[in-house]
Structure 1
Amino acid sequence: MRLDQLKEINLGEWEGQIQEEIEKKDPERFESFWKTPHLFKLNSGESFAEVQNRVLPELKNIVRNHIGTNILIVTHTVVVKILMAYFEGSALSDLWNPPYIHPACLCKVEIEEDKQIICLHGDISHFKQQIIESY
């Protein structure tokens, strides 16, 4: 099932631009994106707080409606970072703290009653295995 609430951040006027171009044209907001995500805001698009306000209620709804089952969420970097920050209890200001979220990395959280255990966070061990096997 597709859920709009779990789509990647809308970067408004930055959409479709190359990171280096954005950094040259809009250095202050570019720095805010990476260094002070809790303060980041564009003229159009979403702030990290707006994404968080969109994503977390949906996560809680999914968990509540699927107690005792396995859930797979496939999404993009900012949403993964926000989901994992929630499970870590981290502030939005620390959003870009490691681990780095590589494409197709794995995060696994086990939820038992009120206890949440992070088993994998940004795991890319399956990449290494594949690289080793290909040589």
Structure 2
Amino acid sequence: MHADPAYFEVVRAMGGEDAGTMAFPQFAPERRFVLTGGQMVIGRRSRSRGVNPDIDLVGPPEDPGVSHLHALLVAEQDGWAVVDLESANGTYLNDPSSNPIDPNVHVPIRDGDKIYLGAWTALTIHAP
């Protein structure tokens, strides 16, 4: 996972209600997550809501555009798929300037694919 400045500019150009007040983070260390099990939830932890995603993007820095339950990675016979969980800002595969993937639909992902979510977050999938 890394903060992607080009994706951030695409999000700002879309002109969402908070786009003008967002700032790209000064420091955003790259983070790595190992894909394990049958499924992994991507989102932001919320103690008050009882949400504890497998891939917790709470930060720092915290991307305000990532929903608490944003997306799901699902292990399939020939790899993984991503499913948008009706997130507020959508989930994009490979081209953040295109339309977001449809909610609740399994979309196969391959080695090297990029999943964009939130205001600046990009996850790059690498095969083991």
Q: Going by fraction, where is strand more abundant, 1 or 2?
A: 2
TM range (shorter): under 0.3
What TM-score, normalized to structure 1? 0.26
Q: Going by fraction, where is helix more abundant, 1 or 2?
A: 1
Structure label with greater radius of gyration:
1
